[in-house]
Each structure stands twice: as structure tokens, then as C-alpha cells.
Structure 1
Amino acid sequence: MDDLIKELKIKIEKLENEIYFKNGLISILSHDSKELFGNFLWLVESLEQKIVSEQDFYKLLPQVKSDARKNLQTVQDSTAWLKTQYGNFKIKPEKILVTDLFHHLEEQYAAKLREKSIKFYFKGDHNSFIISDRLLLEYILDKIFNNALKYSSTGQDIYLRQVSEGDQTKLSVVDSGIGINEKYLATIYSYDNPIFQGTAGEKGAGLSLKIVKNFIFLLQGNIDIQSSENKGTTVSLFLPNFIA
């Protein structure tokens, strides 16, 4: 009986988390889309009615572009999550060389790494591999690395660190950027957490880590975030070397 109650509690908690996540996702999509299109409509109408000059109109376009890029990222993140919720989505385990994941990030972010003069290094066994779903794992690492890059200043190095621990692999993205204040760490996966700009003014909707946590659950793994303000952040993934 106790085991049954425990199992039911786990299922209820899982459903509550899913409802919370979906409601938050809908809220973000609704708010951000309304704000973007509202601002753009106001800008165009103001130009038509000559409330703003053409010169001022063009000055405001970079802000509109920045907001549009943020909203596009939100839509892309939401689409990635939706693909795991509907249809016949199934985890597809395959043998993945960890250095392949490193090179994927290195190539994906080559331009941004150059812009900030940031070096990206691999620490670990170059022959190590993990059995996991490549699509989900690359998405997870992409979002974590993007945050590390966003909150790092010029010349601050970033590492992908691999450690084998029994029947699991620990992958960590380590940066020495601006870090996270301790009071925000406890609510980092909630929708109440404030959204911070990157060191070069980069914007986000604060959605990526919430989807990352959801995907980690699908991979039967865990995530841990250690951070100190102005000292950097280490995001560690604990992934089984098999998926049941």
C-alpha cells in the first residue's frame, strides 16, 4: 500500500509540474507576442500619422529587431518541446562521442566566440562516449552553452568537462562569467525568476532552462547548477549510459 501511495504521489507531482510548465509556456508566448506586435503596430502607425519622423523610426528599428529575435527564439524553443509531447516521439539512444558534442558547440558558436574573444576548451577523456538521444542532448547542451556565452565577458574562457562516474557520465559547462545571485538560484526554473541581459545586451525569454530540465527528465538524467555572483557558473548534467 505504501509503495502504491508513493507511486501515486510521484505521478501527481509529475502532472502538476507539467501543468505548471504548460501554463507558463502559454503565458510567455501570449505576453511576448502581444508586446512585440503591439510595439511594431504602434511604431508603423506613428510613422503613418507623422507622430515620429522617419529618422526616429529607423533609430527604433534595432530594438524591434532585438525583440523579434527574442520572440523567434521562444517560438523555436516551444516547437522543440512540442515535438516531444505529441505524435510518436520516442527517445532514440545512440552511441555519441563526447568530443563530437564539443565540436558541435564549437562550430555552432564560432562567430559568437570570436566576437567576445572567448576560448572554448574540452576537459576529459577524448575517447569517452555516452549512449543517449543525440537530438535532445544537443539541444540541452546548446541552451546551456548559449547561456554561458551570453553571461561571459570578453576574454573569459568556457569549458566542456567530462567525467565518468560509475554507470553515468557527468557533463559540465563551466564559465567564469557574471554568475547568478544566490537568491535567484532556488527559483531558476520558475516563471517568477527575473530575466537578465547578457554582457553584450543579449536578450532571452527565460524559457530555455525550463525546457532543458524537461528534456533531462526524458533522458532519465539530472541537472545541477552551481553559481557565484561575479565568479561564474557550472551547469552539470548527470546522464545514464543507457536509456531504459
Structure 2
Amino acid sequence: TFNWELVLNLHDIPEVLFFSGGVINDKVFIVGAENSQETRQLFEELMKITNEQATTIRNMIKDQRNETAAYDEISRLNNELVTMQREMAKKNAELDYLNKEKNRFLGMAAHDLRNPLHGILLQCDYLLQVIQEEKHKDIITSIKEASEFMVGLIEDLLDYSKIEAGEVNLDYAQVDITALVQDIIRINKPLAEQHDIALELQAEQIGHIYTDPGKISQILNNLISNAIKFSKSNTIIKVRLINRGENFTLEVQDQGKGMSLEQQEQLFKPFHKGERGLRGEKTTGLGLTIVKRIIDALGGELRIASQVGEGSTFSVTLPKIPKELQDN
């Protein structure tokens, strides 16, 4: 007679049951006295259930060991991450200090150099009036042009050092934007005409807005100056003033040499020296960097569309009323 009580007791110890089950299956069951079909089926069902339970328990133990190992690895990686974050914070603090010192030095150096250069420019203007010989005038003119370039570089350094120090001071006022753009065009026309370049304005009706007129002038003067540098003679530079509801857009489109995507990606990197103008004009490598920072401070956006050989279009979109004034 088969001892079912033994099987039930073994059921409480899955690992023993899993091993003994094979022995029972091979020995006891085959030689058992009650070898009926019903007994055989019951025994097979019992062995199937107990084997499944034993497999489940083994997998659970294995999963638990894996979870423990994974937890230990996560803890180790977390400790390494915390250490790296502390080191990065220390390095960032050092870099921030060095960056502030660099900007302070640039500001001091630029300020100290500006006044002597203005003195040189005044002397050059005087000498050009009193000197008669052309070869001497050419020398003085070269000195004046080099000094003007240095003054422009110094002004850019001063602006850049202020921007890097977070000192972009905005002086908002009610402005007739159309009249302001017309004045900027009038100032830049003589330089364009000197190189046989036409400077045209296409303006939509906008009226008065609230912005910083000095910063708008700085942005537009820079974009027009760059367009002149890279435009051939007998071409047209178009300046557009576009009404866009709560915003307005200033566009400067030239018919110059254009830029590749790689060149466009380098435009706003500080001190990046791009190609010289078509007539050998030098660049400071800071103008567009400063323009981009000013546009960001005004809550605007700058976009570029350019293809090699087909010219470039710079589009500046700005709010008619700055967000900080809207909130007030």
C-alpha cells in the first residue's frame, strides 16, 4: 500500500520532495501494491505540482541573490557619482573664479587703452589736415585705420566683459522703431555708397514700441556693417522692418558670398576669427557674439539663412513690449 502521508510530509520540504520524488517515481510507485490507473494519475499530478513549486522557489532564491548583487553595484556606482559630482563642483567653482578674473582684466585693459587711442585718432585727423605730401598722408591714414580697428576691438571687449559678468543694462523707452531704423540706414549709407553698394529699407507700419534704442542701434549697425564687408560692388543690401503682431522683425539681406553650415556654426563663438571682408576688412571675432547676447537679453531670437554664393539673411525678432514690462 502507498504511503500518501509520507508524500504530504515531504511536501512541506520542497527540496527533499524534489529529490525524493524521483526515487518514489522510480521505486516505490512501480513496486507499490496499489498500482491502479487512478493512483497513477493522482501521483503524477502530485509530482507535477511539487516539481513546479520547487522550480519556482529556486528561481525566487536566484532572483533575490541577483537583486542583492544589483543593489550592491548601484550603491557602488552611486558613491562614485557623488565623488565625481563633488570634484566637478570644485572645478566649476575654480573655472568660474578664473572666468570672472579674465573678464575683469579685459575690462580694465580695454578701459586703459581706449583713451590713448582716441588721442592718436585726434592727432591723425590733425596731421591729415596739415600734411601736403600724399605719401605721408597715406602713412597717417594707415595709422588712423589701425587705430580705429583697435578702438572697435576695445569697445567690443568692454561690451563682452560686461555681458559675461551679467551686466547687460537695458534702458527701455518708447521708441518710434521706423524712425530709428531710418536713422541707422542714413548713418550707414555713406559707407555702403563708398563701395558702390545700395542700402534699401522696406518698412511696414509699426509705430511706437518699448525697447532699448541704443541696443537696437548696436544690433542693426553690426549686421549692416557685416553685410557691407561681405558684399560685392553694384549689389543691394535690403533692410526690412516687418510687423508680426506682438513682435517685430528686423532683417538684413545681402548678396554677398554666403556661408556654409560649418561657417554658420562658428559665427557666435567668442573671438572666432572668420574670413576677412571682400576688401580686406578685419573682424574682432566678438561682434556677432555680443549681438546674440543682446538679443537674448531683450527676449528675442536671431536666425540665419545663407548659402554659399547666394548671400545671407539675418533675421532678428523682438517683442514690441518686453516681458518684464508686460508683467508690470
Is TM (by shorter chain) over 0.5? yes
Q: 2:299 aligns with which of 211, 220, 228?
A: 220
* Aligned-partner SS, 1:157: strand
1:110 alignment partner in structure 2 = 189
Residue 122 (str. 1) matches residue 201 (str. 2):
yes
1:75 alignment partner in structure 2 = 154
Residue 229 (str. 1) matches residue 285 (str. 2):
no
Residue 169 (str. 1) matches residue 248 (str. 2):
yes
Q: Kindly tell me: are residues 126 and 119 of structure 1, through their superposed partners in 2, closer, same or farther at Cα, counting changes over 3 Å?
A: farther
Residue 152 (str. 1) matches residue 231 (str. 2):
yes
Q: Percent identity?
A: 23
2:269 alignment partner in structure 1 = 190
Q: Kindly tell me: are residues 235 and 241 of structure 1, through their superposed partners in 2, closer, same or farther at Cα, counting changes over 3 Å?
A: same
Q: Kindly tell me: are residues 88 and 177 of structure 1, through their superposed partners in 2, closer, same or farther at Cα, counting changes over 3 Å?
A: closer
Q: Which has the higher helix share?
A: 2
How far the C-alpha of 1:92 sits from its partner, in A, is 2.3
AA partner of residue 176 (structure 1): Q
Distance 2:200 2:280 in 1: 24
AA partner of residue 217 (structure 2): E
Q: 2:286 aligns with which of 207, 214, 222?
A: 207
Per-residue CA shift, 1:133-182, capped at 9, x if unaligned? 11111111111111011111112111111222232111111111112222
Q: Kindly tell me: are residues 198 and 100 of structure 1, through their superposed partners in 2, closer, same or farther at Cα, counting changes over 3 Å?
A: same
Distance 1:70 1:187 in 2: 22
2:259 alignment partner in structure 1 = 180
AA partner of residue 216 (structure 1): I
Q: Kindly tell me: are residues 72 and 225 of structure 1, through their superposed partners in 2, closer, same or farther at Cα, counting changes over 3 Å?
A: same
Q: Kindly tell me: are residues 157 and 93 of structure 1, through their superposed partners in 2, closer, same or farther at Cα, counting changes over 3 Å?
A: same
Q: 1:239 aligns with which of 318, 321, 324?
A: 318
In structure 1, stretches of 5+ residues that fail to align are 1-11, 34-55
- Which structure would you say has the larger Rg? 2
CA RMSD after TM alignment: 3.5
Q: Kindly tell me: are residues 85 and 187 of structure 1, through their superposed partners in 2, closer, same or farther at Cα, counting changes over 3 Å?
A: closer
Q: Which has the higher contact order (CA 8 A, sep 6+)?
A: 1
* Aligned-partner SS, 1:186: helix
Per-residue CA shift, 1:108-152, capped at 9, x if unaligned? 223212211222222231444432111111111111111011111
* Aligned-partner SS, 2:197: coil
* Aligned-partner SS, 2:174: strand
Q: Kindly tell me: are residues 177 and 220 of structure 1, through their superposed partners in 2, closer, same or farther at Cα, counting changes over 3 Å?
A: same
Per-residue CA shift, 1:44-99, capped at 9, x if unaligned? xxxxxxxxxxxx99987766554433221111222344566779874222232232
How far the C-alpha of 1:102 sits from its partner, in A, is 2.4
Distance 2:214 2:170 in 1: 9
Q: Kindly tell me: are residues 127 and 179 of structure 1, through their superposed partners in 2, closer, same or farther at Cα, counting changes over 3 Å?
A: same
TM-score, length-scaled by structure 2: 0.53
Q: Kindly tell me: are residues 86 and 182 of structure 1, through their superposed partners in 2, closer, same or farther at Cα, counting changes over 3 Å?
A: closer
AA partner of residue 72 (structure 1): V
Does the 8 A contact of 1:66 with 1:203 survive in 2?
A: no
Q: Once structures 1 and 2 are overlaid, which stretch shifts more, 107-116 or 226-235?
A: 107-116
TM-score, length-scaled by structure 1: 0.69
AA partner of residue 134 (structure 1): P
* Aligned-partner SS, 1:217: helix
Does the 8 A contact of 1:195 with 1:205 survive in 2?
A: no
Q: Which has the higher strand share?
A: 1
